[in-house]
Amino acid sequence: MQMMSIGMAIGVGLFLGSGRGIHIAGPALLIAYALAGAVVYCLMRGLGEMAVHSPHAGSFSEYARIHVSPFAGFVTGWTYWLQCIVGPMAELTASGVYMHYWYPDLPQWVPALIGLVLLFGVHWISVRMFGESEFWFALIKIIAIVGLILFGAVIIVTGVTALGHGASLSNLWRFGGFFPSGGHGFFLTLQIAVFAFIGVEMLGITAGEAAHPERTIPKAVGNVIWRIIVFYIGALFVLMVVQPWTRYTADVSPFVSVFSKAGLAGAAGIMNFVVLTSALSSCNANMFSASRLLYGLASAGSAPRALHHTTRRQVPGRALTVTSLAVGVGVLFNYLAPAHAFITLTSVVSASGLWTWSMIAISHMRFRRRLALEGAPLPAFRLPGAPWTNIFVVAMVVIVLVSLAFEGDTRVGLYTGAVWFALLTIIYVVRQRVARVW
């Protein structure tokens, strides 16, 4: 459970997206990630509280249906599916960018297509194959991040200057101050930070299958929250202390750049392999979630019943095929507009993920209200400071959505979200009217 959440949450948002964030806002990116981490803490505690009280497969879409409205549950379920198919598009795009380190002239869509076909095969074989591959993918990225932090600690303590500049805490403010791009640059990086954390809520999908939810869910939530926050903020802190933030570029993973600029070509190549496997790991976990969500939607009558079908190995084959074909649109995008693909796709993931986050917060507020009306005691594992912590989450969601409007590539996320919401509203209304007629 923990490895799958880590696998989805620690991915291209950290390994590639952070390069763009550092390029835009410099050290202020640390504050953006800290804010996003605070939102994640509130979300996961609230989601964990509801999951301990009443575990449900499908989790937050079910909580939205129960505590908000059937329409909210319908939209949340389908929007999370959208998030889980556009996420792999961004991750496959990143795999193409990473391959440029070894093959600069290789078209970006080629590695994306190869990665999609390989992962489809892994999922088709068996659920066990997915679980084992995801465990090792997640383990590799965790070891790599810990290794980077230890490498940085050695550089800082010993004062080695192989990077061309002495490692120093002053690197955080010597080059234009802590906010070199002012409030505007910091504001623009909020979307980057949020995208990096989107996926951690996947823990809720597996909550309904936990053997002892009252024990396993609190432990899993606590471990995932702190590991991710430490990994993200700790790794970025090291990157910007060992050398000035101005030496990183937007189109190269800073995790690779820090080694290549130190003259450690072998280490840079190994790290590039690690970030490549990281992209495949996140894609792997997202495709698993998307196919199971589509299967669940079909089971609930919110998707065509034909998708409620499993192979002899208990793989939802039809849902997996539809999901993989949908992810294939990202390969086409990389063929048509490779330079804009990553930023555009991450903005769509952010917009859809923000809807999910807001629904978790609102569902938790309604959940607490229902407990109060029933006079029921609060669960032992609960979100501190509610409902104010829920209001904080919703406020941050609104702020980040506004930030998407300031750039052309990220604005696509808002346009896509508006069209998607309108489409789901029409489908829901038509389905309700047809159901009443029959």
Residue pair 293/12 in contact (Cβ under 8 Å)? The answer is no
Handedness of CA 306, 310, 312, 317 (dihedral sign): positive
Model confidence at 328, in pLDDT bands (50, 70, 90)? very high
* C-alpha span between 324 and 352 (Å, rounded): 19
Pick the more confident residue, 229 or 53.
53
pLDDT for the residue numbered 6:
61
Listed in sequence order, the residues at least 6 apart from 216 whose beta carbon sits closer than 8 Å to its beta carbon are 1, 210
Domains of the chain with bracketed CATH: 2-437 (1.20.1740.10)
Total-model pTM: 0.89
pLDDT at residue 394, as a whole number = 97
341 versus 203: the higher-pLDDT residue is 341
Q: What is the pLDDT of residue 8?
A: 58
305 has pLDDT over 90: no
User: What's the Cα-to-Cα distance from 177 to each of 28, 48, 174, 236, 244, rounded to whole Å?
Assistant: 9, 39, 6, 17, 11
Burial of residue 84 (CB within 10 Å: 0-12, 13-18, 19+) is buried
Torsion sign (Cα): 139, 144, 149, 150:
positive
Q: What is the pLDDT of residue 437?
A: 52
pLDDT band at 262 (very low <50, low <70, confident <90, very high): confident
Q: What is the pLDDT of residues 376-432, one digit of tens each?
A: 888 888 999 999 999 999 999 999 999 999 888 889 999 999 999 999 999 999 988
Largest CA distance in the chain: 76
Per-residue confidence (pLDDT) for residue 303, from 0 to 100: 81
pLDDT in tens, 89-141: 999 999 999 999 999 999 999 999 999 999 898 888 866 666 677 777 778 87
Average pLDDT over residues 300-310: 83
Lowest mean pLDDT among 151-160, 294-303, 317-326: 151-160
Percent of the chain with pLDDT over 90: 46
User: What are the tokens at 214?
Assistant: 């009252």
Helix count and strand count (H, E) for the chain: 17, 0
